[in-house]
Structure 1
Amino acid sequence: METIHAADLVFADWDAEPVENGAVVVVQDRIGAVGRYEELRERFPRARVRRWPGSLGPARVHDGPLPDAPSPRERVHAVLKLGAVAVLAAYADSPELRAAAARNDVSVVAAAGPGRLTERSARADLAVFDAAGECVATVCAGRLVHRRK
């Protein structure tokens, strides 16, 4: 089933010009389409729709130590709550942290690079931020893994 994630502004990458009233279609764990909400709603009429306040764009790479928490799972979840779906290998330095990351589809990468929302080829890793820069929602490999209440 497809899900349309719509927001006030959608950025293909955080340095690009935003699409107002934009959306991203997620098909399983991949990006199916990126564009204006109305056009995507016509193309995918049976898709579930999730509307988010704020700006939607590529999820981040957490480029510092993982937040302190009682367990590796909770440390990884804390990263997801920040809008990140990848961590640097230098900071995922224990087998327990790497296992927790793998169980949650969080990538362990050598270096941070710019994310981009690319149709049909990119893994569906999205994040939504409000005007204050706080993470509203995180989608990791097509799954909604964090939603602020």
Structure 2
Amino acid sequence: MLTLHTAPLLRTGPDAPPTAGAAVAVRADRILAVGPLPELIEAYAGARVRRWPGTLGPGLVHDGPLPAADSPRERVHALLRQGATGVLAEHVADPALRAAVDRGDLRVLPAAVASELLPGGRADLAVFDAEGACLVTVVAGRIAHRRA
């Protein structure tokens, strides 16, 4: 399904300036386009529009040990609540933890790299409120965490 994700502000990268009135067009696990919401609505007529509060941007890469929890699944969910869509391979060497990360479809990276929202890139997004709390995490185009 084609979805337009939008928020009052959008950052295409961690150091990119915020843009008002922009959106990200997503189909399956890929970003189709990033641009002004009115243009994307016109280009992708019939797309579902998800309007989020806060600032929309790329998902984070968690570069330390995963948070402690009772199970590997809960440790992965703790990352999703932080807006992380990727982890470093060195921190998921345990087979049970790696399996939970793989089931969650998080990217496993050899080194920390800044993510960007680019056409053709994987649809890993996160929305943060003004205080920096994660409201929504989208992993490979699907909503994996949504704060109530």
The TM-score range, normalised by the shorter chain, is over 0.9
**1:75 alignment partner, SS class:** helix
1:145 is matched with which residue? 144
Superposed CA deviations along residues 69-113 of structure 1, whole A, max 9, x for unmatched, are 111011011101100011111211200011111111011111111
Would you say how many aligned residue pairs link Structure 1 and Structure 2?
148
Tell me the amino acid that sits aligned with residue 133 of structure 1.
G
Residue 3 of structure 1 is matched in structure 2 by 3
Taking structure 2 as the reference length, what is the TM-score of the superposition?
Answer: 0.97
Q: Write the mapping of 1:1-149 to structure 2, written as runs, cut at 5 A.
A: 1-119=1-119, 121-149=120-148
TM-score where L is the length of structure 1: 0.96
Counterparts of 1:33 and 1:129, CA distance in 2: 21
Q: CA deviation at 1:14?
A: 1.7
The answer to whether the 8 Å contact 1:80/1:138 transfers is: yes
Gaps of 5+ in 1: none
SS at match of 2:121: coil
Q: Shift of residue 65 of structure 1? A: 1.2
| Stretches of 4+ aligned residues off by more than 6 angstroms | none
Give me the identity figure in percent: 56
Whole-angstrom CA distance in 1 between matches of 2:108 and 2:17: 29
